[in-house]
Amino acid sequence: MTIIASLLRGAELPDSPTARLDVELLLSAALGKPRSFLHTWPERIVSTEAALTFEAYLQRRRDGEPVAYILGQQGFWKLDLEVAPHTLIPRPETELLVEAALELLPATPAKVLDLGTGTGAIALALASERPAWAVCAVDRIAEAVALAERNRQRLHLNNVSIIESHWFSALEGQRFNLIISNPPYIASADPHLVAGDVRFEPSSALVAGTDGLDDLRVIIAQAPQHLEAGGWLLLEHGYDQAAAVRDLLLAQGFEGVHSRVDLGDHERITLGHLPC
């Protein structure tokens, strides 16, 4: 006979920086219960089936697989999103992009574009906060488009459209008040690509040339053709890329160019607008 408390005590994830949280999330999923259940009913008997499922989850985590992929879901902003191995796992630092976008434009009607939407995290977060905005989300990976669409439908966000496009390729003639993106920005030789959770994520969502700036260059160069006068471009980038991104924006004629820091005190996003 196995109880919840003994499973929690016996579970080991020595290589995880968030071991306790990981264990609780995996056990909650195996039981089909919220995390609060584990602490409210620590003496509750666990079925053999649930215990075996939990041990299988633990082994996958010990092998390095991210918890989000094991469970097929990840929280972002105020939303619970389906995730899959062909999309990047939404991260808390990307919420800084959402915060900045909500500050820049009022809650009145506006056209917003999310480039490289993945799970749809940014687009759906914005749409949930601004019902008057018409949000277009694009991704070049068909499986990502399908996943983002499933998230959109489950969240009943009818002010979002999700289409397949390699950056602006399917958006000829369209202009927006705001363009936002968390594009690939890791250099191809970066050692982080073969360490930790990142090695399970798709390289197409992470790597952007030898200096990590290839996709940022494309977006910055093409964005002016798709922005209204005074329109904003908001970009996430690597912790050491802010100065380079500012230079790229200034070279394309953007004004009000500045960067903002994340909770780790790294310059994580950079933004600017076209002249009015």
**255-261/267-273 β-pairing:** antiparallel
Higher-confidence position of 35 and 206: 35
The pLDDT-based confidence of 179 (bands split at 50, 70, 90) is: very high
Residue 37 scores a pLDDT above 70: yes
Cite the DSSP H helix spans in the chain.
Answer: 4-10, 19-31, 35-40, 48-62, 67-71, 95-104, 121-129, 142-155, 214-222, 242-251
- Please state whether the predicted TM-score (pTM) of the whole model is above 0.75: yes
C-alpha 119/C-alpha 139 separation (Å) is 9
Q: Which of 4-18, 64-78, 143-157, 171-185 has the lowest mean pLDDT?
A: 4-18
Mean pLDDT calculated for residue range 30-52: 89
CATH topology of domain 85-273: Rossmann fold (3.40.50)
Please report where in the chains the tokens 């919840």 appear, as a residue.
4
Tokens of 19: 């071991």
Residue 62 scores a pLDDT above 60: yes
- pLDDT tens for 239-271 read 999 999 999 999 999 999 999 999 889 999 999
- Closest by CA position to 201, among listed 64, 22, 79: 64
What is the pLDDT, as a whole number, of residue 191? 58
What is the pLDDT, as a whole number, of residue 193? 55
- pLDDT tens for 190-239 read 655 555 666 556 666 666 677 888 899 999 999 999 999 999 999 999 99
Instruction: Tell me the domain boundaries of the chain.
Output: 2-63, 85-273
What is the pLDDT, as a whole number, of residue 158? 97
Architecture per CATH, 2-63: Orthogonal Bundle (1.10)
Residue 15 scores a pLDDT above 90: no
What is the pLDDT, as a whole number, of residue 186? 74
What is the pLDDT, as a whole number, of residue 12? 84
- pLDDT tens for 83-136 read 998 888 898 899 999 999 999 999 999 999 999 999 999 999 999 999 999 999
What is the pLDDT, as a whole number, of residue 13? 85
C-alpha 55/C-alpha 63 separation (Å) is 12
At residue 174's C-alpha, the angle toward residues 79 and 274, to 5°, is 85
Residue 170 scores a pLDDT above 90: yes
